[in-house]
Amino acid sequence: MIIKLAIKTVLFSLIFSSCLLIDTFGQDNCKQGFHEAWGQTENVIIGSTFKALAKAFVVVVDLNKVKKSNIKKIQKMDNEKFKKRQAAIYDVLKDLPLELKEKYGIVEQMPKEQLVRIMNSLDKNKIYDMINDIPDYFIAYQFKKYIKEKGKDIENSSIVAEVNKFWNSMIKKAS
């Protein structure tokens, strides 16, 4: 009974808002508005999904162990390898809003020592804040870019498998 009422309410809201959009903006503008709204909704769905995965990862991981392990890897890397890894990571992060890059010290050419200092300063709450600060559109863009790059390879794959592959590729780039 309650489910039927909820479905009717949602359908009524969709129909009413569609009629209102058509009446207010005209049919052509309404189609454009729907596509823009869907794009924003799609970004929120994709962004929220990956933010939830990232937060779940932070919940279950031994943060100090991961930090120590990654700092050790960074310190052992020769400068050439570090520059390549840092460039690959920056290639993903370069499109973040400027205020986020400034807030988190994301620069194109970062010395090892600066990265180690940033990593040492992180705790779970700071990481949660970082996750929350990343715009949904940025996450959605990265995911769509990944899907587009994979092209035909993913036609017969499930979306869950692709989310998993994308997540693993991001973890690999970060470590």
Return the amino acid letter for 27: Q
Distance of alpha carbon 60 from alpha carbon 2, whole angstroms = 36
Q: What is the pTM of this model?
A: 0.66
Chain centre to alpha carbon of residue 59: 17
Write out pLDDT tens, residues 49-108.
Answer: 888 888 888 888 888 998 999 999 999 999 999 999 888 889 888 999 999 999 988 898
For residue 17, pLDDT beyond 60: no
For residue 160, pLDDT beyond 80: no
Distance of alpha carbon 105 from alpha carbon 133, whole angstroms = 14
Distance of alpha carbon 114 from alpha carbon 120, whole angstroms = 10
Decide: 146 and 109 in contact? Cβ < 8 Å.
Answer: no
How is 56-118 classified by DSSP, letter by letter? HHHHHS-HHHHHHHHHHHHHHS-HHHHHHHHHHHHHHHTTS-HHHHHHHT--SS--HHHHHHH
7 — pLDDT class (breaks 50, 70, 90) = very low
Distance of alpha carbon 90 from alpha carbon 107, whole angstroms = 7
**Position with higher pLDDT, 131 vs 27:** 131
Give the list of residues 6+ apart from residue 82 with CB closer than 8 angstroms, or none. 74, 112
Helix (H/G/I), strand (E/B), else coil: 110: coil
pLDDT, residue 147, reads: 76
